[in-house]
Amino acid sequence: MTDAIAVTRQGTLRGRTEDGIASFLGVPYAAAPFGPHRFAAPAPAEPWTGKRDATEYGPTAPKAPYAPPFDALIPETSQDGQDCLNLNVWTPEPGPGAGLPVMVWLHGGSFSNGSANSSGYRGDTFARDGVVFVGVNYRLGVDGFLHLPGAPDNRGLLDMIAALEWVRDNIAAFGGDPDRVTVFGESAGGVAIGRLLVEPRARGLFRRAILQSGACHHFVRPDTARRIGERMAERLGVPHTAEAFAAVPLPELVAAQGALSDEFRQRPDPAVWGDAALNGMVFEPVADERTLPGPDLGVDILVGSNREENRLYMVPTGRFGTISEGRVKRGAEAFGADLEGYRASRPDASPGELLDAIVTDWFWRIPAVRLAESVPGSYVYEFAWRSPQFGGELGACHALELGFVFDHVDDPDYAALVGGGAPADLARAMHGAWVAFAASGDPGWAAYDPAGERVTRVFDAGACRVEGDPRAAERVLWEGVR
């Protein structure tokens, strides 16, 4: 292991090189979002003199832990400290001139959990394959996404834009090409990219985008955002203002954030939570309406979902086998789904299987399809490998593809979902497609044509294949539905 040096606009970094790959960890891309910067748009990072140590992960955004059983399924990584607007870089060619493709990772976690510091998000496999990888930490929960009078909305999204601006200005020093940046993310990270695609300030900061299990569909309207903010203020016993929230001790604020999320999960009543109740997330970007980017986007798109996404939220909780016919009917009505159409396409499905199919389509698959339909030349995938965990009932659930995309299926962070013996060839195929797309804009199969075959690459064990419009009958059932 030896030192690696990179010179940024803020100062010189000292990272480390191991097995031919250099890493620079905890690199600040903006000022610490505390003190005068609390609940403000990100400010430029302070410069430094000398060589700044970049061999250890930096602080992560304040957050409450995942609720059981997800705390055991999705390991959480947390480091205390105020300089939480930082990023991690892996590169095979530290120093200017290499002109390598760049991939910027935005983690998931329902906009209230997660971090780029998780071991499963190490970028060494991307660097191994000729990519400069950047993982971004951004503000979460109250600090990043709660509506507060006196503060800008969507502060977590503003952090992402600041990180992409840092990449534009500095990535050449790490061997990257600032004109070949691919932003990719999963779940909340994918949803965030869906907003960045239509955000004027983000235009020109990336050339390609990969959206995994998240697209342009999910946000809260301003009236809902205000209602949620007021409810958080009531819980804290303070006025609903940025100034009042900034005076709340951080541990108390984080505890109240977790309690608000628990209250939301236990009773997601639309009368209380507005349109957030249907989306299933109490913290989300704020927007007036759903916006699709359209044919003049100028960004290459790869988008997709997992075949049985919603099983992550049904199987480990024990709900999957107890879903009643009445619950399926109520769910179909809430989402505007054609229940009889689903029964016709799945005549032998149990109530749990029907509800999973409906929610998976509404929340993940149909938004991906609609994005692909709106941007000509987009590529679509579906992840279909079924986990052996929970007696096989977990299926191709939400977040299962992550270890395959990162080619880290043996990382302990993925063990609870993936289990043992995951197919290494599938990981190589999926990871390789992501790398190829970042390098050339072509992941290795035909683009999705709404007027043609609607080509979709299905990733499955021993059977990665191309299909035309998987479950076309169910897709048609959603035409005209939000």
Look up 289 and say whether it is catalytic. no
Residue 170: its pLDDT value, please? 98
What is the average pLDDT across 35-39? 97
More confident residue, 276 or 480: 276
What is the average pLDDT across 75-85? 95
Give dist(CA 386, CA 400) in Å, integer: 9
Sorted by sequence, the CB contacts under 8 Å of residue 118 that are 6+ apart come out as: 75, 76, 77, 107, 413
Catalytic, out of 187, 213, 305, 378: 187
Tell me which H or E stretch contains 177: strand 176-186
Instruction: Give residue-wise pLDDT tens across range 316-371.
Output: 999 999 999 999 999 999 999 999 999 999 999 999 999 999 999 999 999 999 99
pLDDT over 90 (residue 81): yes
Over pLDDT 70: what percentage of the chain?
Answer: 100
pLDDT over 70 (residue 207): yes
Instruction: Give residue-wise pLDDT tens across range 213-235.
Output: 999 888 999 999 999 999 999 99
Residue 223: its pLDDT value, please? 95
What is the average pLDDT across 50-64? 97
What DSSP character marks residue 114?
-
pLDDT over 90 (residue 269): no
What would the DSSP string read from start to end of 213-254?
A: S--S---B-HHHHHHHHHHHHHHHTS-SSHHHHHTS-HHHHH
What is this structure's pTM? 0.98
What is the average pLDDT across 157-162? 98
Look up 398 and say whether it is catalytic. yes
Catalytic, out of 107, 217, 240, 398: 398
Look up 408 and say whether it is catalytic. no
Catalytic, out of 308, 309, 401, 474: 309
Instruction: Give residue-wise pLDDT tens across range 372-429.
Output: 999 999 999 999 999 999 999 999 999 999 999 999 999 999 999 999 889 999 999 9
pLDDT bin (cut points 50, 70, 90) of residue 482 is low
CA distances from 460 to 127, 217, 314 (A): 25, 26, 22
Instruction: Give residue-wise pLDDT tens across range 87-130.
Output: 999 999 998 999 999 999 999 999 999 999 999 999 999 999 99
